[in-house]
Amino acid sequence: MDRHIRKRVSLANPIHFLALGFGSGLAPKAPGTFGTIAAVPLVCLLAYSTTLTGYLLVTLIASVIGIWLCGRTAKDMMVHDDSSIVWDEIAGLLITMIAVPLSWQTLLLGFVLFRIFDILKPWPISYLDARVHGGFGIMIDDILAGLFALILMHITLYFGWL
C-alpha cells in the first residue's frame, strides 16, 4: 500500500479495522491471501459454536455490512478498491464453507478453491469486477468466488472425493 494512502486509514477506526481484515490486509505481499487467513478463526468459531442458521445469518450480515465497510474505507482511502481492503475475502471464505463439515482437509480445500476463484476471476466474476464499483463492487466478486468455491466444495463432498 502506498504510504500516502496508508495515512488515510487507521486501525483505531473500527470501520477501517474490519475492512482491513483486522490488520491482515496491511501485509506487504498477498494481502488477499492474508485476509482469507484472517477468516479461518472466524469460520472455525462459527462452525463449532453455532447452528447452520446462525452461520448463515453471520455470513449474510458480514456480506451486507461489508458493502458499507469496504465502500466507506475505499472512500476514506480515496481509491476504488485498494488491495488492503480484505473484508470481502473474509465474507468469501465464510460463503465457501457454508454447510461444510469442518476438518483441516475441508478448510484447506475451501481456502484454496476460494483463492483460485478470487485470483483468476472467471466469467461472470471478471465481468462484475470490471463494471461494478463502490462497496458493492468490492464485495460482489468475492461473494461470487465464494459461491463458486462453495459449489465445488459440495460436489467434492457429495462424490466422496474428500
Cα separation, 29 vs 26, in Å, equals: 9
Residues 112-134 have pLDDT tens digits of 999 999 999 999 999 998 999 99
Average pLDDT over residues 50-67: 98
Whether 4 has a pLDDT exceeding 80, the answer reads: no
Whether 5 has a pLDDT exceeding 80, the answer reads: no
Q: What confidence score (pLDDT) does residue 56 get?
A: 98
Whether 2 has a pLDDT exceeding 70, the answer reads: no
Handedness of CA 61, 12, 47, 34 (dihedral sign): positive
Cα separation, 36 vs 40, in Å, equals: 7
Whether 143 has a pLDDT exceeding 80, the answer reads: yes
When pLDDT is cut at 50, 70 and 90, the band that residue 1 belongs to is low
DSSP run (H or E) holding 17: helix 14-19
Whether 10 has a pLDDT exceeding 90, the answer reads: no
| Phi, psi values for residue 93, rounded to 5° | -70, -35
Average pLDDT over residues 96-116: 98
Cα separation, 74 vs 15, in Å, equals: 11
Q: 62 and 142 in contact (C-beta within 8 Å)?
A: no
C-alpha cell at position 72:
466507506
